[in-house]
C-alpha cells in the first residue's frame, strides 16, 4: 500500500504527527470484528469453535458467505464517518491470526488475508483517522482466555517455539504490507500477553522487534506489558520508536468490586504507566472502560469512573483507545438496536448466557450458585494454597466450569439458531450490524468528547521538560 502521509513517530514523551507537532491519539478499539468475541456479538465460547459449529449447520460455503457479509457490514463507510465527526483520530484494530494464516498451512500467508484490514484502514484514512494493527489472537494463544481464541485455559504460545516462529512470520508479512503507509500509526505486537514464567515474553519481544525492524524500520511499535498489559517488571531497556502500552480496567467498572475510589484508580494507573514514564516514553492506554448494565442510575455512576480515568489521562498527556466501538449493548460506543433481526433472534440466547454466567466479560462468575459455589468451596478447602496464574482460584474455577464446560455446548446451541434460515435471512442477520441499524451511546460519547476538548497535545513535551 502506498504511503498517504509521513509517518507518526515518537519523540521523548510525545507522539509527533506528520507535521512534526505533538499529537495525542484518541480513539476506539475495533474489537469483535477481525477477532470476534463472545460478549460482543452474542455467541458462546471462542470464535473458532463457534464458526465450526455454524458451518456444521449452514454448510461451509453458506457459513463463509454469512461471516463475510457480517465483516463487511460491521464496519463500513458510515462507521468511519461517524468516528471522524465525533473527533476521534485513531482506531486500534484487533486481528485474529487466522485471517492471515491457517493452522493447516502454517507459515503461508493467505493471498487475500489483508482484504478486510486494507478496506477499513483505507476508509479510516479517507476520514483522517489513523489505525493501529493489533494482533489480538496468536497461534497457540498468548493468554488464558477466550479473547485469544483460546478453547482451553492454557497459553500454549509460550511453550512452543513453533507458535512463536509463526508469529514472527506473520508480523514480517504485516510489516512488509504496510511499510511506508502513513495512515497506519503502528503495530501492536501482542495483545495482552500472559507468560506465566515471565521469562519468555521479554526475549520474544526482542526477537520480534528485530524481525519487524529488518522489514519496516519506521513504524511505531506498541508493546503490551505481561499479564494482560499490566506488568512491566521483566522489561528493561527501551526500543527506539516504541511504546510500552497498558490496559487500565477498574474492577468496580467491570462489576468485580463494590468499592471504588479515585485514589485507588489513580494509584493503579500510575503503577501500570510507571515503566513508560520512567523511560520518558509516550503513554498509550490501549484498553479501558466500564461494562454497562442498562440501569441508567448505575450506568451514570460507571460513567463517573470513566470521567475520572479520562481526566487522569489528560493530566498525564496519555493517548488512549476506548474498549470498544461496537457490540450488542454491553460496552460499545455504538450498539445494535433491539428491533433488528439479529437481536430478535439471539437476545433470548444471550439472556441464557447471562443467567448461567457463561461469558466471562461482564458476568459475576457465579451464575447458578447452587452449582458453582460448592465447587469453589471444595477447591478452596482441599487446596487452600492454590493460587493459579493469572487471576487466582476464583477465576480459574469459573473459567473451567462456566466459560469452557458450559460455554462449549452453548456454542452448539448458538449455531442451532441458524438452522432453517434462508440466504435472505442470513443477510438480514449480518446487516443488523450496519451503522444505520445501530444506536449511539450518547452519554458515553459526550464524556469522550469532553475529555478530548480538554486535552493539550503539548502537555507531554512539558512533562518531559519538567
Residues that are catalytic: 192, 287
Query: Are the CB atoms for 239 and 199 separated by under 8 Å?
Result: no
| H helix intervals, 246-389 | 262-278, 296-315, 341-356, 369-382
CA-atom Rg of the chain in angstroms: 21
Cell 430478535 sits on residue: 344
Q: What is the dihedral of CA 120, 121, 122, 127, to 10 degrees?
A: 90
115 pairs with which residues across the strands?
none
**The three cell numbers locating residue 121:** 484502514
Rounded CA-CA distance 423/273 in Å is 49
Q: How far apart are the first and last CA of the chain?
A: 40
Query: Are the CB atoms for 157 and 97 separated by under 8 Å?
Result: no
Name the pairing type of β-strands 130-137 and 334-336.
Answer: unpaired
Rounded CA-CA distance 281/270 in Å is 14
Cell 471504588 sits on residue: 260
Query: Are the CB atoms for 165 and 190 separated by under 8 Å?
Result: no
91 pairs with which residues across the strands?
28, 131
Which residues have CB under 8 Å from 159's CB, separation 6+? 140
Q: What is the dihedral of CA 266, 270, 271, 277, to 10 degrees?
A: 170
Query: Are the CB atoms for 281 and 237 separated by under 8 Å?
Result: no
Amino acid at each position: 500500500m502506498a504511503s498517504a502521509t509521513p509517518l507518526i513517530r515518537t519523540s521523548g514523551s510525545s507522539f509527533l504527527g506528520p507535521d512534526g507537532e505533538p499529537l495525542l491519539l484518541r480513539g476506539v478499539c475495533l474489537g469483535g470484528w477481525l477477532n470476534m468475541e463472545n460478549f460482543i456479538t452474542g455467541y458462546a465460547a471462542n470464535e473458532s469453535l463457534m464458526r465450526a459449529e455454524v458451518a456444521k449447520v449452514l454448510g461451509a460455503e453458506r457459513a463463509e458467505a454469512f461471516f463475510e457479509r457480517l465483516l463487511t457490514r460491521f464496519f463500513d463507510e458510515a462507521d468511519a464517518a461517524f468516528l471522524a465527526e465525533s473527533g476521534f483520530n485513531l482506531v486500534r484494530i484487533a486481528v485474529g491470526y487466522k485471517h492471515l494464516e491457517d493452522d493447516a498451512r502454517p507459515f503461508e500467508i493467505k493471498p487475500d488475508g489483508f482484504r478486510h484490514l486494507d478496506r477499513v484502514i483505507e476508509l479510516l484514512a479517507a476520514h483522517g483517522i489513523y489505525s493501529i494493527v493489533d494482533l489480538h489472537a496468536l497461534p497457540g494463544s498468548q493468554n488464558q482466555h477466550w479473547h485469544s481464541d483460546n478453547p482451553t485455559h492454557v497459553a500454549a504460545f509460550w511453550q512452543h517455539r513453533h507458535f512463536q516462529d509463526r508469529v514472527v512470520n506473520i508480523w514480517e508479512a504485516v510489516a512488509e504490507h504496510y511499510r511506508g503507509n502513513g495512515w497506519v500509526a503502528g503495530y501492536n505486537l501482542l495483545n495482552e500477553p500472559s507468560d506465566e514464567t515471565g521469562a519468555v515474553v521479554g526475549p520474544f519481544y526482542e526477537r520480534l522487534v528485530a524481525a519487524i525492524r529488518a522489514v519496516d524500520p519506521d513504524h511505531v511499535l506498541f508493546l503490551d506489558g505481561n499479564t494482560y498489559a499490566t506488568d512491566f517488571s521483566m522489561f528493561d531497556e527501551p526500543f527506539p520508536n516504541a511504546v510500552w502500552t497498558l490496559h487500565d480496567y477498574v474492577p468496580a467498572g467491570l462489576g468485580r468490586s463494590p468499592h471504588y475510589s479515585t485514589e485507588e484508580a489513580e494509584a493503579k494507573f500510575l503503577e501500570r504507566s510507571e515503566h513508560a514514564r520512567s523511560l520518558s516514553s509516550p503513554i498509550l492506554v490501549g484498553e479501558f472502560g466500564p461494562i454497562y448494565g442498562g440501569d441508567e442510575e448505575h450506568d451514570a455512576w460507571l460513567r463517573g469512573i470513566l470521567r475520572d480515568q479520562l481526566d487522569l489521562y489528560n493530566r498525564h498527556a496519555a493517548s488512549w483507545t476506548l474498549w470498544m466501538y461496537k457490540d450488542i449493548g454491553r460496552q460499545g460506543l455504538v450498539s445494535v438496536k433491539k428491533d433488528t433481526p439479529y437481536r430478535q433472534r439471539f437476545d433470548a440466547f444471550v439472556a441464557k448466557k447471562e443467567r448461567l454466567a457463561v461469558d466471562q466479560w461482564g458476568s459475576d462468575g457465579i451464575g447458578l450458585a447452587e452449582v458453582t459455589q460448592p465447587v469453589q468451596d471444595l477447591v478452596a478447602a482441599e487446596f487452600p494454597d492454590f493460587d493459579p496464574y493469572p487471576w487466582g482460584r476464583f477465576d480459574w474455577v469459573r473459567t473451567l466450569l462456566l466459560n469452557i464446560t458450559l460455554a462449549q455446548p452453548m456454542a452448539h446451541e448458538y449455531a442451532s439458531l441458524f438452522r432453517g434460515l434462508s440466504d435472505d435471512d442470513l443477510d438480514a442477520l449480518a446487516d443488523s450490524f450496519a451503522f444505520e441499524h445501530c444506536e449511539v451511546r450518547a452519554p458515553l460519547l459526550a464524556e469522550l468528547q469532553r475529555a478530548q476538548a480538554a486535552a493539550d497535545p503539548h502537555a507531554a513535551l512539558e512533562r518531559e521538560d519538567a
